[in-house]
Amino acid sequence: MTAELEARRLTGPHLLDDRQGAALDVPITEGDERLLDLWEAEARRLLTAVGWAGERTHVRRFEGGASLVLTAPIDTLYSATEVAEAAWAAASARFRGEKPDPAAADRLLDAIQQERRHHIRALEAEATRRNVTFLLDDEGVSVGTGVGALVFPLDAVPEVADVDWHRVHDVPLILVTGSNGKTTSVRLVAAMAAHAGLVAGVANTDGITVGGALLEADDYSGPMGARRVLRHPTVQVAVLETARGGILRRGLAVRRADASLLTNISEDHFGDWGVNSLAALAEAKLVTTRIVPEDGAICLNADDPILRERGAELGARVCWYSLRPDVPELAQGRAAAWLDGTALMLRRGADTSRLMDVTSVPLTLDGRARYNISNALGAMLAAASLRRDGKSLVSMGAMRAALEGVRGSIDDNPGRGNLIELGGVHVLIDYAHNPAGLEALVQMAGAIPSERRLVVLGQAGDRTDDALRALARAALRLDPSRIILKEMGHYRRGREPGEVRRILADALEQAGAAPDMVVSVDTEAEAAESALGWAREGDLLLLLTHEERGQVLDLLRDLKARRWRPGQAVTPASAAPAPN
């Protein structure tokens, strides 16, 4: 094993440590294990040589490889990646019976000296002493968050004494993670904060929103999106979707959060960054709980067996929510939320209140969308955790107004549980990107009366073959009359064109699907048009949409405006020939 590999920076708390540093991901085959011990020894030697003897090293084994991590000062993370790589080169040399490069330590020292920024390191130390957030990236340096943030360009970082610390403070911060329901939960918490009169800053897979206005559209569920929200000068509360990929690749953007909401843990993205099991996936998502202080709140779904097991280890910070009123965990913690019959219940301390009836929450589709009932409960619990000076920031009235006001429309919550009616055809649009998410959607869709059912199915190429087969089996539980397999060209991620569709088709055939009920198309937009062209009054179409969601939603808006009915042309008006 002598391959040259590229290390990556870890800018905040991550899977192996709460301190920033560098990580090198290496393949390991049988007979190479000694390399890991050699790397750690060489890393310790080089860290001492460059004056970083107090930094830590970690080795995390996983099937087929290992992550090699070392911590480092915040202002020299690029140099830290060079230290990790130099240690690997030295270990590989010793593994081959050769001597390491004797000049490596001197080169590393030169790199560190050039990168080191005294003002940045001093500013971080003072922010830590004052217990306020410090953020550093290529866009600048900041202390405090939201309305309490001061932001400086990298070439104009002030001396500690020149900072107006009286203006610096942190705004309330909630991190939301899990396998399914993150984006909807973020929207609900932000809506509750808004109804409480607070300017909410949101980063999620759809973009960055401040005060309800979309500032940037893209996937901002990683550290970059978090930093942009936390530096926005009008934000009074931040609600950040925190994806597994960002945690594993870069770590968290922050070192402290008032609350962490974990929706659930289910199989998804196995194989990325050495996460090959539900236990490892849970460990990655639970990184968000490590930065919640003793007076904060860790909001966990008691209906998830992994979270229920792991939550017992997290102490009094844990607050539970559940779709069942008899879960023992609900009696624990500072707060709890649950469904009692059709009533959403909330306990804060010794006070228990009935918030509202679930049928008054549009996202639940009169209680049929149980996964959105769960999302509402989690959002209630997270919003209830927002406090300043011992007082709740979000009232019961604000929670109620938000749950009544956020609708499952393609405008309020685009692409997530949107149910619309077109000429007697019910169309359900959702993301549902893993088997658990699809099973929850199928359960809800099964309660919608329909003559026939259709499913548009596809997946990104970075899922395992087993995960793709599980997705196909989940789709068949809806008992569809037709399944349209779509290609996701921008998300092949190493797969050959058509490969994912072939695996899904084979899995459907093996599970008993008749060959004539499965068709294949090249794009999501084409899949939607094909589904609508097949539909007749009384049908239910389940459109799993991601890659071309905007185009699909625009098509549905256009058809709704034209009062489209089955049998009529599906081509969008904008693409149709102009009338004579």
Residue 321 and residue 298 share a domain: yes
Shortest CA distance to 22 belongs to which of 51, 3, 43, 1?
43
**Is 580 within a domain?**
no
Q: Which of 79, 94, 116 is the last residue of a domain?
A: 116
Residue 351, sorted as left (phi over 0), alpha (psi -120 to 50) or beta, turns out to be beta
- Give the strands of the sheet with 65-71, arranged side by side: 8-10, 21-27, 65-71, 57-62
Residue 109 and residue 76 share a domain: yes
What averages of pLDDT result for each successive group of 10 residues across the chain (580 residues)? 78 96 93 92 98 97 93 97 97 95 96 95 97 96 98 95 97 95 94 98 95 93 96 98 92 96 82 77 94 95 95 91 96 94 95 96 90 96 90 95 87 80 91 75 82 89 82 87 87 82 90 89 91 94 85 90 91 47
- Quick one: pLDDT at residue 474? 86
Q: What is the CATH number of the domain that holds 336?
A: 3.40.1190.10
Residue 324 and residue 214 share a domain: yes
SS (H, E, C) 469-538: HHHHHHHHCCCCCEEEECCCHHHCCCCCCCHHHHHHHHHHHHCCCCHHHEEECCCHHHHHHHHHHHCCCC
Q: How many CB atoms lie within 10 A of CB 177?
A: 26
Q: What is the CATH number of the domain that holds 495?
A: 3.90.190.20
**Is 400 within a domain?**
yes
Contact (Cβ atoms closer than 8 angstroms) between residue 227 and residue 139: yes
Question: CA-to-CA distance for 460 and 448, rounded, in angstroms?
Answer: 28
**Is 457 within a domain?**
yes
Residue 565 and residue 432 share a domain: yes
- Quick one: pLDDT at residue 342? 97
**What is the residue whose two structure tokens read 């804060």?**
348
**Is 303 within a domain?**
yes
**Is 96 within a domain?**
yes
Q: Which of 101, 116, 131 is the last residue of a domain?
A: 116
Residue 183 and residue 153 share a domain: no
- Quick one: pLDDT at residue 268? 65
**Looking at this protein, which amino acid is placed at residue 394?**
V
Residue 86 and residue 149 share a domain: no
* Domain boundaries, position 58: 8-116
Question: CA-to-CA distance for 464 and 64, rounded, in angstroms?
Answer: 15
**Is 412 within a domain?**
no
Q: What is 330-397 written as a DSSP string?
A: GGSSSEEEEEETTEEEEEETTEEEEEEEGGG-GGGTTTT-HHHHHHHHHHHHHHHT-EETTEESS-HH
Residue 527 and residue 432 share a domain: yes
Contact (Cβ atoms closer than 8 angstroms) between residue 274 and residue 281: no
**Is 502 within a domain?**
yes
Residue 528 and residue 476 share a domain: yes
Q: Which of 149, 167, 185 is the last residue of a domain?
A: 167
Residue 345 and residue 215 share a domain: yes
**Phi, psi of 505, deg, nearest 5:** -65, -45
Residue 134 and residue 68 share a domain: no
Contact (Cβ atoms closer than 8 angstroms) between residue 28 and residue 64: yes
Two structure tokens written together for 218: 């893209």
Rg (CA), the chain: 26
Helix %, strand %, coil % for the chain, to 5? 40, 20, 40
- Quick one: pLDDT at residue 458? 86
Residue 453 and residue 307 share a domain: no
Name the pTM for this structure. Answer: 0.86
**Is 1 within a domain?**
no
- Number of compact structural domains in the chain: 4
Burial of 562 (0-12, 13-18, 19+ CB in 10 A): middle
Two structure tokens written together for 546: 């991601």
Residue 443 and residue 307 share a domain: no
